[in-house]
Structure 1
């Protein structure tokens, strides 16, 4: 059993009611249903085109739904999207906040420290602070490694480490099983459960939730709405 969240835990409960998003070609996702307690791990599962990424962006206050509402802690979407953006953080999401392949792991962390704490945050006890950030996410990588040389699971954990520097209440991760065999997916889900137990709610999208086993609450999105089928 994972350790309980500490006294400084900031994990927030997330719940949706009729949450839906319609685009020019039909429904991106429709009536998405989640009920995730604080400090829990949730697997948001669905096939390609089911709207997983868009739903994560909605829950992070970065995309406005067409219908329905969601609550993140005591804040409501879409009305309080700005406040929700301050309470949530995205891991590395393709096309949104990709890792820079040419930068090292340590350089990525240094940039994140500077962003959240000012330029002095980049340099103050830099080596120890970089290691602390990586340890919280469970990333055992040399800070001198370039992001482009990381394995897919390591890249996911680096994205999580960067997001956690801001101490969010909800961590949102996308396509966590992409490019990974079953056994590495299982290990990644175990690591994500440990992150949640440290005091943050984790919602991670995936194609297949089976490797998560009993570690995560499962929320499933159906395949693309017929109106979105390519002509």
Structure 2
């Protein structure tokens, strides 16, 4: 008796697709040749040392920085104004950061004032964040502050969340916990693109940046 071969499941369509993306200023390339495809429920890591263009790459992928080369499609959108509605920013160093003097409750209220319509309890639970409304953000530990920022971004109900400096100030244990938390969140259908100095020890798609060139792992 012969058995018919079971066809392999097709690769999921990417919700974010960047092809040869690059950003150049008068001083030269900030990053270039960034090609990336992330499906809904996927996690991607942009890795490189300080000055490698990680933060600007996240701004570009979120439609918040004008690129000089390549193409970007997010959930069928190619216009930056529309892409911005489909990519939520959790944290990007120097551009989008939590206000350390505000309480958790203040940040949640502010996110709602900016148009967020989703709940925070579900994302916080997936990420392992304990919501303490009266807690001052500046008093949170590095891991808690990072994951709280991601939970806030998840309130936007966007197709993609971007977050910078995932491993900043964290020891090896907390770095692993951070990536594990991002994977748990992604299981709810959102794509996550995160930047870090070092590649995670998880199943993320990894792209390395060195300012003038990017390559895959």
TM-score normalised per structure 1: 0.81
Structure 2 partner of 1:195: 185
Q: How does 1:78-227 map to 2 (within 5 A)?
A: 80-116=79-115, 131-132=121-122, 134-209=124-199, 212-222=200-210, 224-225=211-212
SS in 2 for 1:86: helix
* 8 Å contact from structure 2 (residues 43, 186) kept in 1: yes
Task: Compute the RMSD of aligned alpha carbons.
Answer: 2.1
SS in 1 for 2:177: helix
* 8 Å contact from structure 1 (residues 116, 165) kept in 2: no
Q: Deviations over 1:203-222 (max 9, x none)?
A: 0000001xx22331111112
Q: How many residues align?
A: 201
Report the alpha carbon displacement of residue 117 of structure 1 after superposing the two structures with TM: 5.8
CA distance in 2, matches of 1:82, 1:63: 11
Structure 1: gaps spanning 5 or more residues: 1-10, 122-128, 227-231
Structure 2 partner of 1:24: 26
Find 1:70's aligned residue among 72, 92, 100. Answer: 72
Higher percent of residues as strand: 2
